Amino acid sequence: MLSILALATLAATPFTAEDLVALHRVSDPQVSPDGRHVAYVMRETDLAANRGRTDLWLLDLGARDAAPRRLTQDPASDSSPRWAADGRSLYFLSTRSGSSQVWRLLLDGGEPLAVTQLPEDVGTFRLSPDGKRIVFSMRVAPAKPAGAGQDAAAGAAPPDRASASGLLFDRLFIRHWDTWSDGSRSHLFSATLEPAGGIGTPVDLSQGLDGDVPSKPFGGDEEYAISPDGRRVVFSVRIAGRTEAWSTNFDLYEVRIDGSAPPANLTAANAAWDTQPVFLGNGDLAWLAMDRPGFEADRFQIVVRDTKRGTAKSITAGWDRSVSRLGVTADGRRLLATADDTGQHALFAIDPSTGKPTKLVGEGYVDGYSGARAGVVFSWASLGAPADLWYLPDGGEPARLTGVNAARLAARTLGDYAQFSFKGWNDEIVHGYVMKPAGFVPGRKYPIAFIVHGGPQSSYGNGWSYRWNPQVYAGHGYGVVFIDFHGSTGYGQAFTDSISGDWGGKPLVDLQKGLAAAIADFDWLDGERACSLGASYGGYMQNWIAGNWPDRFRCIVNHDGIFDNRSMYYSTEELWFPEWENGGPYFEDPTTYERWDPSRFVQHWRTPMLVIHGAKDYRVPDTQGIATFTALQRRGIESKLLYFPDENHWVLKPVNSLQWHATVLDWLDAHLREDAARQARAGG
């Protein structure tokens, strides 16, 4: 038994990057058909193997104070639990056979059994409500013309070409996010579930469509749905052709689940994004739709299609929020939706006949959720807590179901935080957050970590991050400030739209006024000791600050930031993004690209900068980071480059994350801690 003094000592331990990496991560709650159980995924860090691994867990919702039960514990990763129609077993994805396949686990005991043994990895899957079929996604190799790669006479590859390594492309994407294209597509298949186990012969439901189902790189099973009667499948796909790299025209296609007829386009009239189909209990179809082609941050409205009449309409045209995840209650009568909302990521119930939203959970960050018999189970996090599962009964208050990191967090001191607002650009109201250092002492002044979010159409709000977590900086003794500048989501679509064509304008004014307001309102912030940090658009803003606000910060941290808009346009992969943000292709009108190009202001740079980049970042290619470092070195500005040969736009490997945090915090310490800063300035 620990003494009171020992407990007090533990509680005074600050939160660190090591804690962040070691935390268990809960996701993907799935309530059983009878509403009694919830299955979910928990990720644990295997630091020795430098990776995370996932297992399945089960919780009895009907038992008071029930303890979660581990269902799987394999060295491989198990994920995506999905309930059989009878609720007696769970289907899931596992790599335990050496590839990603579907497995089945009986809840009354026994070992998992393989359901699929396919030649390619299964990416996602869903089970039909009647329990008769499985719908899944799988890679399909590109078709080769007759005789391609072979000597026509001998039937074998010519000796002089047999070992050639060149890749030949005739259209974009040649690479996407962190992967080079091999010409393959992800297709959607359907197969019968055999009574004795296994599946029947798969049928390709998206055959003949030149597109990926689900979409790459982040699409999942939310991009397709099976009708309540088990007869139809609706999926979202973008027909690629030669316009894939600059098109956001995803359409919904409907197909018979047995593949007996070709898919039919339900949304051909909308040239913008249609996705996330869900079926209501009466068979009506709902989905998310944008209005403006080419704009990935347009508002996602909810559209409902009357199955009997064949008519469709937006039911949330008057609600100025963009839905991020669409679902349905267990009884199929109402829709569920998450959306950014004034610095929170809230959960709403939506009346499908009127579109009226009812806020169910308004504070913090709601991620995954699953409708239960008399409520909803959801994953909830905040700036002060990583995700756990909660249950919200109809008409009741949320109740915590899990506390997977309770012991570790009880032994750590976390920073308190508060939301604030101020008059930003054009005196419009802008919101932000401040976080106190762990172990805060009244009357003391603390140096500032000023974090600028990426996107830019996103929100740095009341949630938990495993990449840019302000608690790590608070645990290291820093006050943290972050602003939802013009362009952020959750404040109305006009606010989000306002950044397009104005990357260095309104947002910079908001950042300047926001930092000044925070220092004025929170007297424990030391405005003389501040460092600015950011990644992606936040990294772009660090380069922009270096040339347009050069005397404000003692140091800068720039991760995966854009240096030169012209080379960025011609080397990134998703061209629709820079084309919308800058008013078209660079070669048609370079005006906006050049106006907000950080490389134009290098002559004004003088702030010490740490540059970080990943070699597999194809969104913002690594040459942008190298060019930034080259400019700094050539200008004689104190600078360092941290380069990850094995990371993409993010830093995902646990050991790399620890190196990232150590390097960043060392950089801040060298410039913001008075003793270290004096030594650095003296050349010691």
- The mean pLDDT values, 10 residues at a time, for the chain of 684 residues are 41 90 98 96 96 96 90 94 95 97 93 96 97 97 56 50 88 97 96 94 96 98 98 97 96 98 97 98 97 98 94 97 98 97 98 97 97 95 98 95 96 97 98 97 97 98 97 98 98 98 98 98 98 98 98 98 98 98 98 98 98 98 98 98 98 98 98 66 45
Report residue 288: phi and psi, to 5°. -100, 140
The Cα 556–Cα 545 span in angstroms is: 9
Q: What predicted TM-score, i.e. pTM, was given to this entire model? A: 0.94
> Quick one: pLDDT at residue 108?
87
> Quick one: pLDDT at residue 143?
66
The Cα 191–Cα 156 span in angstroms is: 36
**Within 13 Å, how many C-alpha atoms sit on residue 353's CB side?**
3
Amino acid identity of residue 307, one-letter, is T
The Cα 434–Cα 518 span in angstroms is: 7
The Cα 127–Cα 103 span in angstroms is: 12
Q: Is the dihedral of CA 417, 418, 422, 428 positive or negative?
A: positive
Any idea where the domains of the chain sit in the sequence? Answer: 409-681
> Quick one: pLDDT at residue 257?
98
Expressed in percent and rounded to 5, the helix, strand and coil fractions of the chain are 20, 35, 45
Element (H, E) at 395: none
Q: Which residues, including other chains, have CB under 8 Å from residue 230's CB and lie 6 or more apart?
A: 128, 129, 130, 132, 133, 257
> Quick one: pLDDT at residue 109?
82
The Cα 310–Cα 2 span in angstroms is: 67
The answer, yes or no, to whether the previous bond of 68 is cis (omega within 30 of 0) is no
Pick the CATH number of 409-681 from 3.10.580.10, 2.60.40.10, 3.40.50.1820, 3.40.50.300: 3.40.50.1820
